[in-house]
Amino acid sequence: MAEPLLSLEGVHTHIGPYHILQGVDLAVPTGGVSVLLGRNGAGKTTTLRTIMGLWTASKGSIRFQGRDITALETPAIARAGIAYVPETMGIFTDLTVAENMTLAAASGPIDKQRLDWVQDLFPPIRTFWTSSAGTLSGGQKQMLAVSRAIIEPRVLILIDEPTKGLAPAIIKSMTDALRQLKETDTTILLVEQNFAMASSIGDDVAVMDDGRIVHRGGMAALAADAALQEKLMGLSLEAHQ
Ligand SMILES: Nc1ncnc2c1ncn2[C@@H]1O[C@H](COP(=O)(O)OP(=O)(O)OP(=O)(O)O)[C@@H](O)[C@H]1O
């Protein structure tokens, strides 16, 4: 079997005195969308941050394209081809959309063809090009955050809850755009609480609880198994009450 694009083996992460990740085993195959589900506080964001080197794994290994990246610093991990869209989006609200995009193109001027493609995926990035990013709606800001991450070709993009707090119509636009992104050769690791959205786009799924992966498998199998969903999603639902 081919080696996964990204794999985490026995990854532990401590934040100060807290032992947050407690032996995470995760494999992201090349291509498609892998979804990471789990209740609030399960450790999903910490997993993405540990992959990006924003937290350092205290134990275990992280491999990307056959290379051990566990001890690399964040800029080197980004240069290796991994982009990260944090839940907080990381956009500059005092700058225009154009300036936000220009800063995101780290290796030089924006490629015009690539920009056209991104603007076709997310039309507000064209419409509001000269507007201040601070004036965009929540959904448009989220689109800008994803656009920044993909303005240069990436091997893997980590996206943390891109539909959080968005209206259904905007969730649909975001989902359609991610589906088109998935048709390119970009692999997506998506943290998502919205199971309807996650199951409509996901190929593989992992479910976290208490800093560990408690389920790994195909998304189609989970979507078709109501009892398993109840068992696993119950973890999420309880936490929302
Ligand atoms: N900077 C920090 N300092 C201390 N504890 C933290 C810090 N960041 C996260 N944690 C704790 O780590 C645990 C996992 O948090 P994390 O944000 O990874 O969960 P999550 O699954 O992404 O949750 P959510 O769905 O709410 O975003 C939580 O108990 C959280 O309180």
Q: What is the pLDDT of residue 87?
A: 86
- Residues of the chain above pLDDT 70, percent: 97
Q: Do 175 and 145 share a domain, yes or no? A: no
Number of domains in the chain: 2
Record the tokens describing residue 169, joined without a space: 């119509």
Q: State if residue 46 touches ligand 1 by the CB under 6 angstroms criterion.
A: yes
Record the tokens describing residue 52, joined without a space: 């990006």
Q: How confident is the model at residue 25 (pLDDT cuts 50, 70, 90)?
A: very high
Q: How confident is the model at residue 208 (pLDDT cuts 50, 70, 90)?
A: very high
- The whole-model pTM stands at 0.91
Q: State if residue 107 touches ligand 1 by the CB under 6 angstroms criterion.
A: no
Give the mutation target among 13, 45, 208 for probing the ligand 1 site: most ligand atoms within 8 A of CB. Answer: 45
- The protein residue whose alpha carbon is closest to atom 7 in ligand 1 is 15
Residue 1 lies in a domain: no
Domain boundary among 153, 177, 205: 153
| Distance in Å, CA 164 to ligand 1 centroid | 16
Q: Do 64 and 104 share a domain, yes or no? A: no
Q: Do 167 and 66 share a domain, yes or no? A: yes
pLDDT tens digits along 111-153: 999 999 999 999 999 999 999 999 999 889 999 999 999 999 8
Q: State if residue 39 touches ligand 1 by the CB under 6 angstroms criterion.
A: no
The dihedral sign for the CA sequence 4, 198, 171, 237: negative
Cα separation, 197 vs 174, whole angstroms: 10
pLDDT tens digits along 75-101: 999 999 999 999 877 889 999 999 999
Cα separation, 38 vs 164, whole angstroms: 14
Q: State if residue 48 touches ligand 1 by the CB under 6 angstroms criterion.
A: no
Answer yes or no: are the C-beta atoms of 139 and 167 closer than 8 Å.
yes
- Find all residues with CB under 8 Å of 148, minimum gap 6, and list them: 85, 90, 91, 100, 101, 103, 104
ipTM of the complex: 0.94
Residue 86 lies in a domain: no
Q: Do 147 and 159 share a domain, yes or no? A: no
Residue 87 lies in a domain: no
CATH number of the CATH domain containing 71: 3.40.50.300
What is the extent of the structural domain holding 235? 6-81+154-240
Q: What is the pLDDT of residue 241?
A: 37
Q: Do 77 and 158 share a domain, yes or no? A: yes
Q: Do 101 and 215 share a domain, yes or no? A: no
The values of phi and psi at residue 191, to 5°, are -90, 125
Q: What is the DSSP string of 176-190?
A: HHHHHHHHTT-EEEE
Q: How confident is the model at residue 107 (pLDDT cuts 50, 70, 90)?
A: confident
Domain boundary among 137, 153, 169: 153
Q: Do 160 and 67 share a domain, yes or no? A: yes
Cα separation, 172 vs 151, whole angstroms: 21
Ligand 1 atom closest to Cα of residue 43:
18
The values of phi and psi at residue 7, to 5°, are -140, 140
